[in-house]
Chains A and B, each alone.
Chain A
Amino acid sequence: VSDSSPDAGGGDGDAPDDGRGPGDGDDGQPPDATSRVGADATASSRTDAPADRVTDHATGHWRGIGAVGLVLGGLGLVFGSPGLVLSGLVGAVFAGYAGAARPLRVRDGDGDPVIAVRRRVDPETPAPGDAVTVDVEVHNGSDGVLPDVRVVDGVPPALPVIDGSPRHGAVLRPGGRARFSYTVRAVRGEHQFDPARVVVADPTGAVERETALAAGTTVTCRPDPSPVDLPLRGLASPYAGRIETDAGGEGVEFFATREYRRGDPPGRIDWNRRARTGDLATLEFRRERAATVALVVDVRRAAYVGPGPDRPHAVERGVDAAGRAFEALLDAGDRAGLAALGRGIDDAWLAPGTGRDHRADGRDLLATHPAFSPVPPEAGLYDSLDPERREALRRDLIDRLHRRLPAGAQVVLCAPCCDPFPVAVARRLTALGHPVTLLSPDPTADDRALRALAGLERADRLDRLRRAGVRVIDWGEESLPAALARASRGWSR
Chain B
Amino acid sequence: VSARRRLQWLGVAAVAAGLAVALSGVPLPALRAREALAVLGAGAASLGVGYAYDRWLSEADRWTPPTPERGLRVPVPGDAVAGLPERRVVERLRRRAVAVLVRGDRSREEAEASVADGTWTGDAVAAAYLGEDLRLPLVTRLRWLVAPDSTAERVRERTVAAIRRRRGEGSP
Chain A residues close to B by CB (< 8 Å): 57-61, 63-64, 66-80, 82, 85, 88-89, 92-93, 96, 99-100, 150, 152-155, 157-161, 165-167, 182, 185, 194, 197, 199, 208, 210, 304-310, 313, 374-376, 416, 418, 443-445, 448-460, 463
Residue of A nearest to B54 (CB): A63
> Does B3 count as interface, using CB distance less than 8 angstroms?
no
Q: Is the CB of A450 within 8 A of B78?
A: yes
| Chain A residues near B49 (CB-CB < 8 A) | 67, 71
Q: Is the CB of B52 within 8 A of A71?
A: yes
Residue of B nearest to A375 (CB): B72
Q: Is the CB of A306 within 8 A of B76?
A: yes
Nearest chain A CB to B114 CB, angstrom units: 17
Q: Is the CB of A78 within 8 A of B63?
A: no
Among the listed stretches B104-112, B116-124, B140-148, B155-163, which one makes contact with chain A, having 4 or more residues with CB under 8 Å of it? Answer: B155-163
Closest 7 CB pairs of A and B: A77-B41, A160-B71, A74-B45, A70-B48, A454-B78, A74-B44, A449-B156
Partner of A158, one of B11, B34, B41, B72: B72
Q: Is the CB of B76 within 8 A of A307?
A: yes
Q: Which of B5-20 contact A (CB under 8 A)?
A: 8, 11-12, 15, 19
A220 to B148, CA, bound (A): 48
Chain B residues close to A by CB (< 8 Å): 8, 11-12, 15, 19, 22, 34, 37-38, 40-52, 54-55, 58, 60-63, 65-66, 68-79, 81-82, 89, 92-93, 96, 99-100, 103, 153, 156-157, 159-160, 163-164, 167
A491 to B133, CA, bound (A): 44
A448 to B75, CA, bound (A): 14
Residue of B nearest to A84 (CB): B41
Q: Is the CB of B78 within 8 A of A208?
A: no
5 CB-based A-B contacts, threshold 8 Å:
A73-B44, A85-B22, A152-B68, A161-B71, A460-B100
Q: Is the CB of A460 within 8 A of B76?
A: no
Q: Is the CB of B8 within 8 A of A96?
A: yes
Q: Is the CB of B78 within 8 A of A150?
A: no
Q: Is the CB of A305 within 8 A of B75?
A: yes
Residue of A nearest to B1 (CB): A102
Q: Is the CB of B79 within 8 A of A450?
A: yes
Q: Is the CB of A449 within 8 A of B55?
A: no
Nearest chain A CB to B118 CB, angstrom units: 19
Q: Is the CB of A309 within 8 A of B48?
A: no
Q: Is the CB of B68 within 8 A of A67?
A: no
Residue of B nearest to A205 (CB): B62
| Chain A residues near B42 (CB-CB < 8 A) | 74, 77-78
Q: Is the CB of A197 within 8 A of B66?
A: yes
Nearest chain B CB to A238 CB, angstrom units: 41
Nearest chain A CB to B107 CB, angstrom units: 17
Residue of B nearest to A445 (CB): B76
Partner of B99, one of A165, A199, A460: A460
Q: Is the CB of A58 within 8 A of B61?
A: yes
| Chain A residues near B19 (CB-CB < 8 A) | 89
| Chain A residues near B40 (CB-CB < 8 A) | 74, 77
Q: Is the CB of B156 within 8 A of A67?
A: no
A443 to B100, CA, bound (A): 22
A451 to B81, CA, bound (A): 9
Nearest chain A CB to B81 CB, angstrom units: 5
Q: Is the CB of A57 within 8 A of B76?
A: no
Partner of B60, one of A59, A305, A375, A418: A59
Residue of A nearest to B71 (CB): A160
Using known A-B contacts A63-B51, A74-B45, determine if residue A160 contacts B92 with beta carbons closer than 8 Å: no
Q: Is the CB of B48 within 8 A of A100?
A: no
A77 to B41, CA, bound (A): 5
| Chain A residues near B55 (CB-CB < 8 A) | 60, 63-64, 67
Q: Is the CB of A100 within 8 A of B58?
A: no
Q: Is the CB of B157 within 8 A of A449?
A: yes
| Chain B residues near A85 (CB-CB < 8 A) | 22
| Chain B residues near A68 (CB-CB < 8 A) | 48, 52
